Chain A
Amino acid sequence: MDRAPRRLANPWLLLVFEALFVTASETLLKLGASETERVAGWEWTGLLSLTSIWIWCAIGLVILSFLCWIYVLKYIPLSIAFPLSNVVHVLVPLSCWIFLSENISPRRWCGIAIVILGLAVVAKPVAKIEEKL
């Protein structure tokens, strides 16, 4: 966490972007996959999904998220960045619920709550360190 740049190049902000890009790409992949799934004979290769514009957007977002991730790794310890990147397990179900009208069972809501609790526990000491700097 030494000499980390501020503002837009702030690795913590890039970690947030990484998670948002992953969430958006997963949601778009689902959109694109369900848009193109009804082509007989080829459905298992997944290749025909390339006819969907959503899939191409998703591929772009995956690349962006990877670029953000390697930038994050430059400054944030892996043992902190990796647990925090798992915020996608909260964001993806929420995104499916909001944008794809998928159902979330009570057990899944409990899981989401526990992930958020874990994220808070990991993030709290980090926030203290950042305050001191």
Chain B
Amino acid sequence: MTREQTIVAILVFVIEVITTVLGQLLLKRAMEGSKAFGFTHPRILKLFVAGVVSLTASFFLTIGLLQHFDLSFFYPIQGSTVVIITLAAAIFLREKLSIQLIIGSALISAGIVLVSLS
């Protein structure tokens, strides 16, 4: 793999993680808002569609990455999204974070890495 290819791969990989996290945050916002405003409210629908688009993008980027790398190399990244989404939910959605939640998420991430390595 050339230097350019490596840079592109890292970039795709970063965008894949960002779109996954962003998609889940948008979906959460939409569904939370739907309790107060109803699902058909234009603002809620916009958030929902944006979430689905973001997750769709992450889906195809995942396939693109899978075409270039082994699943066992790439899958541990899926594990890392657990910790990132937990932290992102705390930062952007102001969800309460406990020490148990952080330790639990870290353990799940570590477990996923082990599962996918073997």
Number of A-B residue pairs, CB cutoff 8 Å, is 117
Q: Please classify how large the interface on chain B is, using the bins under 10, 10 to 19, 20 to 34, 35 or more.
A: 35 or more
Quote the shortest CB–CB distance from A38 to chain B (angstroms). Answer: 20
Determine whether the beta carbon of A89 is less than 8 Å from that of B100.
no
Determine whether the beta carbon of B101 is less than 8 Å from that of A125.
yes
Determine whether the beta carbon of B98 is less than 8 Å from that of A82.
no
Query: Does more than half of chain B's interface fall in helix, strand or loop, or is it mixed?
Result: helix
Determine, out of A13-21, A23-31, A47-55, A110-118, the stretch whose residues face the partner at the interface: A110-118
Query: Does more than half of chain A's interface fall in helix, strand or loop, or is it mixed?
Result: helix
- Cβ–Cβ < 8 Å partners of B103 in chain A: 118, 121
- Cβ–Cβ < 8 Å partners of A82 in chain B: 24, 82, 85-86, 89
Determine whether the beta carbon of A79 is less than 8 Å from that of B95.
yes
Determine whether the beta carbon of B90 is less than 8 Å from that of A79.
yes
With the chains together, A82 CA to B34 CA distance in Å? 19
Determine whether the beta carbon of A110 is less than 8 Å from that of B114.
yes
- Cβ–Cβ < 8 Å partners of A71 in chain B: 31
**Contacts A79-B90, A108-B114, A113-B111: A70 and B106 contacting too (C-beta < 8 A)?**
no
- Cβ–Cβ < 8 Å partners of A110 in chain B: 114
Instruction: List residues of A whose CB falls within 8 A of some B CB.
Output: 69-71, 73-74, 77-80, 82-83, 86, 89, 93, 105-108, 110-125
